[in-house]
Amino acid sequence: MLLRSTLQYLTHSGRVPCLHPPPGPVAMVCRSLVAGAALVLAAADNLGDSSAFIQANIQPTEIMQMIQDKAGEIEWGNGGWQTLAKSLAEDWGKKTFSESMDRFRDQVRQKMPFNLGSVLVNDRNDVKECKDISSSVLCHSSRKVFNITCRGWGGSCLAPDAECQSITTRDVCLNSKTRLGMACLGWGGSSCLPPHGATAELITNEHVCQHAKDTLGIHTIGWSGSMCLDEKSAACEKISKPSICNDASRLLNLDCAGWGGTTCIDKTTGNCEHITDALICMDANKRLGLKCVGWGGSFCLDKRTATCDQISQPGFCNDAAARFGLRCAGWGGSSCIASDEESICSRVTSKRICQSAKKHLGTTCAWIDNACTIKTGE
């Protein structure tokens, strides 16, 4: 129905009578358009709803524009209709064939069982490099299919100069010499390790880390929660798991103060600012041996180095003297302002606070041109 409406649109334009074309060149034009629409229909996701598919993908104005663009290039005195028909058929055929192949490829990838579609069908048509090949089968036949030389499949299609770290499939890594002609050290947990210079930190799997000395020849001291550590690279801040941090002395032979909320704190270099959990901050002296003055809103404040700028909550700022022993003028709208600052007004970002600065901050300010400034003339 919609296809007929599309052709009616062309008829009403007065240029090409396509509903009942007479024999000859005009019929050739119409047949090329009908064939193009049919090709697209053949690739529709739902053949029972072909009308909706055409509406979404083929606009009558698009077809008309193609004819108008071509018409200006044609010499009508000598076989012009034949030239137009041939040109339209070629251009529209390429367009619809490309659309059809894209949709056909997607259908195959999605509907083949056991994920075979992704193995047999490539994601892209325009393959220029090995990385453009998404099919393991086509990767192994890249020279024949795409005229591109690739090393082989290692979780992705590898270029001839690919290194061991590019291999992301364990089985291929363990057999890299026979499959890819690459001498790799072994599997690190998420990628293949290079034959020389591999360190414990490249290992991303706890089981591999625990057996690294026997299987890979890499000396390690243990698992941090997210990476493998050796004696040279080990540090408290690299531990990402609370239970490991709090037992670091036994597990990793590290002298850590304890878990600070998001990081493991070193007993020697750690400070209160590394604590990002309010409850841990309140008990920091007992838990971590750190002298903290209190929670500032985002992190814990150190008794020796705390400043008003480090306070990120209005209530804490306005009560800074009692909470932290700090002399703060008050909250300025987006930050806590120290009372000894030369220009308190310039730090205020709230119009309401600016206009009542005498009461809240102990100084007189004025809100001018969307900014707070010191009030003069009084």
Hey, how many other C-beta atoms are within 10 angstroms of the C-beta on 136?
18
Strand partners, 158: 152
CB count in 10 Å sphere of residue 188 = 28
Query: Do 37 and 54 touch, CB atoms closer than 8 A?
Result: yes
| Span 10-33, average pLDDT | 48
Tell me if 370 is assigned to some domain.
Answer: yes
pLDDT at residue number 35: 47
Q: pLDDT tens across 84-99, in order?
A: 555 655 565 555 555 5
Contact, 294 vs 281, CB < 8 A? Answer: yes
Q: How far is the C-alpha of 18 from the C-alpha of 64, rounded, in Å?
A: 12
- Does residue 241 belong to any structural domain of this protein? no
Which residues are CB-contacts of 184 (< 8 A; sequence separation ≥ 6)?
Answer: 164, 167, 173, 176, 177, 192, 193, 194, 195
* Number of domains, the chain: 1
pLDDT at residue 108 in the model: 61
Q: What is the mean pLDDT of residues 353-372?
A: 92
Calculate the average pLDDT of the chain: 80
In a domain, 358, yes or no: yes
Contact 264, 237 (CB under 8 A): yes
pLDDT band at 45 (very low <50, low <70, confident <90, very high): very low
Which residue did the predictor score with more confidence, 135 or 71?
135
As a whole number of angstroms, the distance between CA 336 and CA 340 comes to 12
Residue 329 lies in a domain: yes
Q: Is residue 336 in a domain?
A: yes
Q: Whole-angstrom Cα distance, residue 88 to residue 64?
A: 11
Q: What is the C-alpha to C-alpha distance for residues 170 and 191, in angstroms, rounded to an integer?
A: 7
User: For residue 318, is it within any domain?
Assistant: yes
Enumerate residues 6+ apart whose C-beta is below 8 A from 215: 186, 208
Which of the pair, 242 or 16, is modelled with greater confidence? 242
Is pLDDT at 56 greater than 60 in this prediction?
no
Query: 185 exposed, middle or buried (CB, 10 Å; 0-12, 13-18, 19+)?
Result: buried
Q: Determine the structural domain holding residue 338 and report its residue range.
A: 307-377
In a domain, residue 202? The reply is no
pLDDT at 79: 57
Question: Cβ(11)–Cβ(60) under 8 Å?
Answer: no
Between 292 and 108, whose confidence is greater? Answer: 292
Tell me, yes or no, whether 353 lies in a domain: yes
Any idea which of 17-31, 36-50, 270-284, 300-314 has the lowest mean pLDDT? 36-50
